[in-house]
Amino acid sequence: MRKDDPCMPICEFDGRSGWCAGCGVTVAELRSWKKLTPYKRGELLRLLPRRVSQLNG
């Protein structure tokens, strides 16, 4: 994962949670990524590893 972008080579969304299996973002978060402030991006980036763990757990 690049520091400024959450995307991974795997882009497959979970039907129940709406999270991407590769990086953990939702479609809405992905669409709004460029509009987010650096602070909001950082907040989101901190959440993503937990989401991916929950999906793969």
pLDDT, tens digit (0-9, with 9 covering 90-100), for 1-57 = 455 778 888 889 999 999 999 999 999 999 999 999 999 999 999 999 999 999 988
Say what the pLDDT of residue 2 is.
52
Say what the pLDDT of residue 26 is.
96
32 φ/ψ angles, rounded to the nearest 5 degrees: -95, 0
Say what the pLDDT of residue 54 is.
94
Helix H or strand E encompassing 50? helix 38-56
Domain, as residue range, for 38:
1-57
Instruction: Read off the tokens for 20.
Output: 């991407």
How many structural domains are present in the chain? 1
Can you tell me the distance from the alpha carbon of 10 to that of 25, in angstroms, rounded to the nearest whole number?
Answer: 12
Say what the pLDDT of residue 1 is.
45
pTM of the model: 0.81
